[in-house]
Amino acid sequence: MRSAWLAGLCALLIAGSAAAARIEGRVLHVSKPDAVAGLSVQLLGVSRDGDTVTRETRSDDEGRFSFDDLPGESVYLLMADYAGVRFPGGREIFKAGQEAETRTLTFHVYEPSHDPAGLTVSSQRFFVERGDVGTYRVTQTLSAHSPRRQVIALGETEPPALRVGLLPGHGEIQTRFGGLPEGATLNGDVLELRGPFFPGEYELVVSYEVDTAGRVLESVLDLHDGAAQLELWVRDDGVEIDAGPLHSARVTRAEDGFYQRFLGFDLSPGTRIPFRVAARPYPGPGAIWPQVTLAFALSLGLAYVVGQPVTRRERAVDEPGESAASREKRALFAALRDLEHDFETGKLSQSDHDRLREELRSDALRALARLEGEEPASASVAGEASAGEAVAPDGGAAVLTCACGRTAAPGDRFCPSCGKAL
């Protein structure tokens, strides 16, 4: 147990250097003030270099104690023994670069009891996720509450105060500090807890692997002491879940992914809840190709529907006496409008828009020239004559023609058709 504490404390240290430190404090008894005299108070510490520090002293008549000249830049745990029970007294951390200082701790001791009455399970949580091939990783959390101002501590020959049902076929059990906590023994698939349970909240977290020799975990949640609330969390990485009578809750995101949750409430002692988690099989090539073919067909259809406005030409109804060149002009101008609409709605890139616009403008200008009996020498010449002043046939005032083909009235600064500056 001590080695596990030391491993946990080492992770809390910060590089640097610090001066010598001092810890003082007082032990209090909730109902017997005189019972705190002469108690054994222990200090266990770890320095940044991994050196251990162990000290012990005795409390005075008022329960006061102190530890002087402690190495700085270390982490310390304090404990006190009373009536055969070791009570935790708190933790102090001295960081790098701190001046010499004194920390003060105050903690309580309680009368022991062999009666677990009032000790209840607040909640149980089961976290399930797929591990290596043929295994599932399970982490269980049990939270209990003791309302009495006593510490429940049972002997090895006494019935356990609480029983934690593990999934059948579980592997080696791991806890925050490595091995099983004080007062815990493993009996088959049941972890028996005999304390100590101090007043207030108690929490136990264990994890293990279940070897399924396949892709399916089919097991039972065994609640020997019931629970006010039960939560089953299954990591959603391609699994199908049958949680029996539990209620499905919304998918929850945790640090390592998304979990499907299932809840149960006010479950009585002895409740057994079967559940099943199965990894979805990977579809073989025979199952994939029909899906690929369908997806390809749908993508082609979507591309046709989306691209249709870009390539279409307006099919105008022939007007009586309208020439072919006039119909072509109207269709080309409609295509220009559609092109601008497609660009504004994000269906075309800038480069495609510019290329198609120049092609349509050239076609439109040629159609205008045919209407007037005049074919431009080249696209570049048409481009130059598309927007500018031209002398009227009678030598009168200059007339402005927009790139879209619309002739503006004298004095117009913008095209009345497309709004472009002239």
Residue 369: band (very low, low, confident or very high) from pLDDT cuts 50, 70, 90: low
Is residue 353 a part of any domain in this protein? yes
**126 and 23 inside one domain:** no
pTM of the model: 0.59
DSSP for 93-120, written as a single string: E--TTPPS-EEEEEEEE--EES--TT-E
Residue 321 DSSP code: T
Among 109, 139, 172, the domain boundary falls at 109
CA distance 50 to 7: 9
What local confidence, expressed as pLDDT, does residue 221 receive? 95
What local confidence, expressed as pLDDT, does residue 49 receive? 79
Rounded alpha-carbon distances, angstroms, from residue 300 to 53, 217, 229, 295: 73, 42, 52, 9
Would the pLDDT of 7 be above 70? Answer: no
What local confidence, expressed as pLDDT, does residue 348 receive? 67
The upper half-sphere exposure of residue 256, i.e. CA atoms within 13 Å in the direction of its Cβ, equals: 8
Q: Which residue has the tokens 């005075």?
A: 60
Mean pLDDT of the chain: 78
What local confidence, expressed as pLDDT, does residue 256 receive? 76
**157 and 238 inside one domain:** yes
User: How do residues 206-217 score in pLDDT, each as one tens digit?
Assistant: 999 999 888 899
Among 279, 297, 331, the domain boundary falls at 279
The two structure tokens encoding residue 3: 């080695």
Is residue 305 a part of any domain in this protein? no
Is residue 293 a part of any domain in this protein? no
Is residue 80 a part of any domain in this protein? yes
CA distance 191 to 180: 9
CATH at 40: 2.60.40.10
The two structure tokens encoding residue 185: 């023994």
φ, ψ dihedrals at 239, nearest 5°: -130, 155
CA dihedral 156, 158, 159, 162 (to 10 degrees): -60
**232 and 127 inside one domain:** yes
First to last CA, the chain: 89
H/E run at residue 220: strand 216-223
Other C-beta atoms lying within 10 Å of the C-beta of residue 166: 20
**56 and 103 inside one domain:** yes
φ, ψ dihedrals at 418, nearest 5°: -105, -10
DSSP for 221-270, written as a single string: EEETT-EEEEEEEEE-SSEEEE-TTSEEEEEEEETTEEEEEEEEEEEPTT
- Chain centroid, CA 284 distance in Å: 31
CA distance 28 to 391: 109
**381 and 391 inside one domain:** no
**331 and 411 inside one domain:** no
Of residues 23 and 350, more confidently modeled? 23
Overall average pLDDT of the 27-45 stretch: 93
**131 and 264 inside one domain:** yes
Residue 384: band (very low, low, confident or very high) from pLDDT cuts 50, 70, 90: very low
CA distance 196 to 184: 10
Would the pLDDT of 322 be above 90? Answer: no
What local confidence, expressed as pLDDT, does residue 335 receive? 72
Q: Is 52 exposed, middle or buried (0-12, 13-18, 19+ CB in 10 A)?
A: middle
How open is the CA angle 323-329-331, to the nearest 5 degrees?
Answer: 105
Is residue 290 a part of any domain in this protein? no
Of residues 194 and 409, more confidently modeled? 194
Structural domain tally of the chain?
Answer: 4
Is residue 115 a part of any domain in this protein? no
**93 and 127 inside one domain:** no
Residue 407 DSSP code: B
Would the pLDDT of 122 be above 90? Answer: yes
Overall average pLDDT of the 338-344 stretch: 69
Domain encompassing residue 74: 2-109
Would the pLDDT of 364 be above 70? Answer: no
Helix axes 350-371, 324-344, angle to 10 degrees: 160
Is residue 242 a part of any domain in this protein? yes
**Closest Cα partner for 52 from 70, 79, 40?**
70
CATH at 166: 2.60.40
**161 and 271 inside one domain:** yes
Tell me which range, 244-248, 323-327, 413-417, is most confidently predicted by mean pLDDT: 244-248
| Residues 208 and 172: beta-carbon distance below 8 Å | yes
Among 258, 279, 300, the domain boundary falls at 279
**96 and 35 inside one domain:** yes
Other C-beta atoms lying within 10 Å of the C-beta of residue 31: 9
The two structure tokens encoding residue 360: 């349509």
3-state percent breakdown (helix, strand, coil) of the chain, nearest 5: 20, 40, 40
Would the pLDDT of 307 be above 50? Answer: yes
What local confidence, expressed as pLDDT, does residue 277 receive? 93
Residue 396: band (very low, low, confident or very high) from pLDDT cuts 50, 70, 90: very low
User: How do residues 266-298 score in pLDDT, each as one tens digit?
Assistant: 999 999 999 999 987 655 555 555 655 666 666
**334 and 422 inside one domain:** no
User: How do residues 155-208 score in pLDDT, each as one tens digit?
Assistant: 999 999 999 999 999 999 998 877 888 889 999 999 999 999 999 999 999 999
Provide, rounded to the nearest whole percent, the portion of the chain with pLDDT above 70. Answer: 64
DSSP for 105-169, written as a single string: EEEEE--EES--TT-EEEEEEEEEEE-STTEEEEEEEEEEEE-SSSEE---TTSPPSEEEEPPTT
Is residue 49 a part of any domain in this protein? yes
What local confidence, expressed as pLDDT, does residue 250 receive? 86
**94 and 198 inside one domain:** no
Tell me which range, 12-16, 153-157, 388-392, 416-420, is most confidently predicted by mean pLDDT: 153-157
The two structure tokens encoding residue 9: 């404390």
User: How do residues 49-92 score in pLDDT, each as one tens digit?
Assistant: 788 999 999 999 999 999 998 888 889 999 999 999 999 988 88
| Residues 7 and 178: beta-carbon distance below 8 Å | yes
Q: Three-state SS for 173?
A: coil
